[in-house]
Structure 1
Amino acid sequence: MAIVLGPNRYGKAETRVVRVTKDGGVHRIKDCNVSVSLSGDMDEVHLTGDNAAVLPTDTQKNTVFAFAKKYGVGEIEEFALLLARHFVDSQPTIHHARVEVEEYSWERIPVEDAPHLGLRDKQHSFVRGGTEVRTALVHSDGSDGDESVVSGLKNLVVLNSTGSEFYGYIEDEYTTLAPTHDRILATEVTAQWRHRGTDSSWGRSYRDARRCLLEAFAETHSLSLQQTLYQMGRRVLNERREIVEVRMAMPNKHHFVVDLSPFGMDNDNEVFFAADRPYGLIEGAVLNDDAPQVPNAWI
């Protein structure tokens, strides 16, 4: 029986880089978490410990910081593509780069509310904004090779206080859940969407995809979380033609009606117990039937 080396990659994970762009007293912030993973002619480092083909992970970290200074950090998809192409194009032993970026949003604190502080012309104060994290995952074989871009978000918490039902499911000897025609539907959306190419208007595309997800969640009278997931993905694909596939993971954040009858009270879907675990986990993909297949796009 022969023992051989299988697929492998290595890199520097979770480099936190904060880039401040200064325009006089007006500052802008990009707060990112960057993970790089490289593969190529790496057999010898595994088999014999020969590091001649290895670009140190510390160098990868330094490259992230240097590129943030040299090029700035615009749309995270652009930054990820810039890094991925650099690693493959500059090193003959590196044939493929995977770069994943998470972006944490900051909102400017308005200074108009405090003119007595003399801050009208100084806009450099921020508060962490929102709950969701914007994401991008890039694979590149270099400037002249195959590439893919997957954008997305995670930690987007949404809730409908009505307009959701759940009934008609399989019942067996272990079933205790009662059917309902009015329930809270809540979830924490993780969504990723694959682009047809690498030349999208990344910011506009992201904002529209996020809007589509939220609108479809709000507007769907849900008979199941699976149905809602499909309608959310379908809305994105209908409105953004540069997106060919949407994948989502949506835990069902269960809200149970509390029995208040021991206290002589009715509870017409007004008071709920929010359970954090266990929870149902719904996952699925929605795609155009002509979507090109890209084996490495999601991994």
Structure 2
Amino acid sequence: MAIVLGENRYGKAETRLVRVTRDGETHTLADLNVSVALSGDLVATHLTGDNSGVLPTDTMKNTVYAFAKEHGVGAPEQFALLLARHFVETHTQIRAARVGIESFSWERLGPHSFRRQGDHTRTAEVTVTVEQAQVVTGLAGLVLLNSANSEFHGFQRDRYTTLPETTDRILATAVDARWRHLDDDTDWDKSYTGVVEALTKAFVTTHSLSLQQTLYAMGTQVLTDQPEIAEIRLALPNKHHYLVDLSPFELANDNEVFIAGDRPYGLIEGTVTRDDVPPAITEWYP
């Protein structure tokens, strides 16, 4: 039986970068968490410890900071493309580079004053090979809630089922979404804003009979509104709200008082895609 080295990569994870662009008295703030991973002809370092083909991960960190100074940051997708292409184009042993970015938003309070916006986090993941590039944008933790127009009934039952059916419940979730672009050249900020608006619009306007139905409606809205998107992957945790029993206090609870559950929670995941898009060049979601 032969033992061989399988797929492998290495890199520098979570390089924290804050870039202040100073335009006179008015400043612009970019706040990123950047992770770089490289793969290619790296067999020797694994099998014999020969590091002649290894670019130090400390160099990757330094490149992030130097590029922020030399090129600025701009949209996270564009910055990730710039970094990934650099590593592939300048090091012949590297066949593919993956750059993942978390982008944290700040609300302007004045020319050089800001307040952190914490409702959700924008993400970008770029994979560049010697042949092509792939751009995946995303968001994490977009919290949405409907206090009506949500039902759940007609489901399977067995001896362990205790959940009652309902035609009136709170539907709440914290959206994690990732979407693959058809091209690596677009207006990234405009596209991102459009996707967030489409996701929100579908959640608000869908009379939900299941969170799965809502997921599909949200994905469909994105692909309908945003022609530059090939497919979207959604993960929707069901943030359960349980009706409180107020009968010991001789009080009626007409769907007004709830306990916001923490865990466990239902987790609904799915991909909505066009049927004619080119395949991804690499796996783009867990």
Counterparts of 1:276 and 1:292, CA distance in 2: 39
Aligned length: 285
Identity among equivalent pairs (%): 60
Corresponding residue of 1:99 = 99
Contact 2:16 2:32 in 1 (8 A): yes
* Structure 2 residue corresponding to 1:128, chosen from 88, 112, 116: 116
| Partner of residue 140 from structure 1, selected from 125, 128, 133 | 128
| 2:58 matched residue in structure 1 | 58
Q: Deviations over 1:193-242 (max 9, x none)?
A: 10011011111100000000000000000000000000000000001111
Per the normalisation by structure 2, the TM-score is 0.98
Displaced runs of 4+ in structure 1, greater than 3 A?
none
TM-superposed CA distance for 1:246, in Å, is 0.4
Specify the alignment match of 1:49 in structure 2: 49
Structure 2 gaps, min length 5 = none
Question: Residues 247 and 286 of structure 1 are in contact (CA less than 8 Å); yes or no, is this contact kept in structure 2?
Answer: yes
Q: Which amino acid aligns with 2:258?
A: F
Q: Whose strand fraction is larger, Structure 1's or Structure 2's?
A: 2
1-structure distance, mates of 2:211, 2:144:
12
RMSD across aligned positions (CA): 0.8
In structure 2, the partner of 1:117 is none
Equivalent position to 1:237, from 220, 223, 227:
223
Name the amino acid aligned to 2:50.
D
Q: Is the 8 A contact 2:10 2:37 kept in 1?
A: yes
**Where does residue 220 of structure 1 map in the other structure?**
206
Secondary structure of the residue that 2:10 maps to in structure 1? Answer: coil
Letter in 1 for 2:113: S
SS in 2 for 1:11: strand
Shift of residue 130, structure 1, vs aligned partner: 3.5
State the partner residue of 1:150. Answer: 136
Aligned counterparts, 1:65-84, within 5 A: 65-84=65-84
Secondary structure of the residue aligned to 1:282 is strand
Partner-residue secondary structure (3-state), 1:183: coil
What is the rounded CA distance, in whole Å, between the counterparts of 1:96 and 1:183 in structure 2? 47
Which residue of 1 is the match for residue 193 of structure 2?
Answer: 207
2:256 equivalent to 1:270: yes
Distance 1:6 1:21 in 2: 43
CA distance in 2, matches of 1:225, 1:296: 29
Could you tell me whether the CA contact under 8 Å between 1:212 and 1:236 is conserved in 2? Answer: yes
- Determine the C-alpha separation between the residues in 1 that align with 2:121 and 2:239: 19
| Aligned counterparts, 1:285-296, within 5 A | 285-296=271-282
Determine the C-alpha separation between the residues in 1 that align with 2:57 and 2:188.
28
SS in 1 for 2:167: coil
Which residue among 158, 166, 190 is the counterpart of 2:176?
190
Q: Name the CA distance, whole Å, in 2 between partners of 1:62 and 1:289.
A: 42
Distance 2:187 2:112 in 1: 27
Q: Partners in 2 of 1:20 and 1:97 — Cα distance? A: 26
SS in 2 for 1:278: coil
In 2, Cα distance between the equivalents of 1:295 and 1:223?
A: 35
Q: Are 1:154 and 1:191, in contact at CA under 8 Å, matched by a contact in 2?
A: yes
